Amino acid sequence: MSKRKYGLALSLVLAAGTLLGACGTDKDKDKDSSSSKGGNESDFSVAMVTDVGGIDDKSFNQSAWEGIKKFGEDNKLSEGDGGYAYLQSKGEADYIPNLNALVRRDFNLVFGVGFMMEDAIGTIAGQQEDKLFAIIDGEVDQPNVANILFKEQEGAFLAGVAAALMTESDKIGFVGGVDIPVIERFEAGFVAGVAAVNPDIKVDVKYTGAFDKAELGKAEAGRMYSSGVDIIFHAAGGTGNGVFSEAKERKQADKNANVWVIGVDSDQYDEGQVGDDNITLTSMLKRVDNAVQDISKLAQEGKFPGGETKVYGLHDDGVALADSRGAIPEDVMKQIDEYAKQIADGEIEVPEFR
């Protein structure tokens, strides 16, 4: 959004074959962000396991890691054992071994990033009752697990308002990853935001069925832009990188091409750079970094919300709209800000589902 940011994927069912009480190996540690460096000034350590999107997905895995790093730096922790770290998952089969490896390395709090890790977190938390876990975008009914959810629909509503106010063709697109509740909240909020500005605008909605298939995002974006859509909002993780690729190629081929992308989770402005131009209209921020820091601090203070679900929205800086860097005029930004204020104050209740 403007310089005033108002506080604002991914899941399949985890296969049942699990390694109960599995022991980590040196190979596990090789996947870590670093080896142990020691020298920490705090005895509270935190770590995370990514989902298949990976640590550099420019989305919510990356945002979670940024939150953990910030917590570590604020507490003078070193990256590695006894401080803060991550293990990257290349597939669902990595979830339980990675979680077990971090438990064995004695991290005080371990985050699982993404709905896809519900079963794995549930299994390990049940085995390791004296350890603390947190899951982002999911819920696990265990007393030693904190559940972290977001009101994605609120931030997506603002993205819809921005798209509706900026479209020249009155044709807007939404590209989702897997059709699951968290992505449906993005869709519902976005469509509601568009309708709040102009109910006659049609939103072309497509789910690709994947979060790590950029080629699917690119193909869908190509179809939408060719049909006259000029703004696409993606909530598709790595698949959304293909939406950016398609828009950038069209901008490179025709400097006057009216194609825009609204990023998701993190500020994806850099992803839209095309020479001196940029095709990122704005990004809907999902402040996973803020949530991770909040839960880590609560755990460090002995106030860990185990067995509870914390939901972060506009009111508490859980979601937001990124600074548009001038792509959105100031008069339009003022209108978006007003919608944000009404949502934060409870005057507008954004639907979770269509």
Q: Which helix (H) or strand (E) holds 274?
A: strand 273-274
- 82 assigned to some structural domain: yes
Residues of the chain whose pLDDT is less than 70?
1-42
Residue (of 60, 135, 95, 154) closest to 346 by Cα position = 154
- 201 assigned to some structural domain: yes
Question: Does one domain contain both 208 and 326?
Answer: yes
Is beta strand 273-274 parallel, antiparallel or unpaired with respect to 277-278? Answer: antiparallel
- 180 assigned to some structural domain: yes
- 349 assigned to some structural domain: no
Question: Does one domain contain both 190 and 228?
Answer: yes
- 224 assigned to some structural domain: yes
Question: Does one domain contain both 141 and 194?
Answer: no
- 129 assigned to some structural domain: yes
With tokens 């959105």, the residue in question is 328
Q: Residue 142: its pLDDT value, please? A: 97
Question: Does one domain contain both 80 and 132?
Answer: yes
CB-count burial class (<10 Å; 0-12, 13-18, 19+) for 20: exposed
Question: Does one domain contain both 308 and 328?
Answer: no
- 351 assigned to some structural domain: no
Question: Does one domain contain both 84 and 216?
Answer: no
Question: Does one domain contain both 259 and 302?
Answer: no
- Domain tally for the chain? 2
Question: Does one domain contain both 274 and 306?
Answer: no
Q: Residue 10: its pLDDT value, please? A: 32
- 335 assigned to some structural domain: yes
Question: Does one domain contain both 179 and 268?
Answer: yes
Provide DSSP, 290-319.
Answer: HHHHHHHHHHHTT---TT-EEEE-GGGTSE
- CATH code of the domain covering residue 166: 3.40.50.2300
Q: Residue 336: its pLDDT value, please? A: 97
- Taking the C-alpha atoms of residue 326 and residue 53, their distance in angstroms, rounded to an integer, is 30
**pTM (two decimals):** 0.82
Question: Does one domain contain both 295 and 331?
Answer: no
Q: Residue 57: its pLDDT value, please? A: 78
Question: Does one domain contain both 175 and 124?
Answer: no
Torsion of CA 138, 36, 77, 107, to 10 degrees: 40
Q: Residue 43: its pLDDT value, please? A: 84
Question: Does one domain contain both 188 and 134?
Answer: no
Structural domain of residue 210, as residue ranges? 152-286+320-344
Residue (of 26, 32, 30) closest to 107 by Cα position = 32
